[in-house]
Amino acid sequence: MGQPSVRDAIVSSIQGLGALAERFGIRLVIQFGSTVSGTSHKKSDLDVAVKLIDPDVSL
């Protein structure tokens, strides 16, 4: 087997987010961009938007 796909790497990373979400008060994480649309390439980044429970807190 070769290297995991970008999608597999993202899914693996997301699995540990529950504890982080609780710790930092994260309500919602949205992934967007080329990795979602299937147009990513070797130098693509990962685009995410984060909504916090408390709007007065910043990351």
- pLDDT tens digits, one per residue of 6-53: 778 777 777 777 778 888 898 998 999 998 899 999 899 989 898 999
**Is beta strand 26-32 parallel, antiparallel or unpaired with respect to 47-52?**
antiparallel
Give the H or E element holding residue 18.
helix 17-24
Would you say residue 27 lies in a domain? yes
Would you say residue 1 lies in a domain? no
Which structural domain range is residue 40 located in?
6-52
d(CA 50, CA 21): 10
How many domains, in total, are found in the chain? 1
Would you say residue 22 lies in a domain? yes
Would you say residue 58 lies in a domain? no
Q: What's the pLDDT band for 59 if we cut at 50, 70, 90?
A: low
The pLDDT value given to residue 39: 94
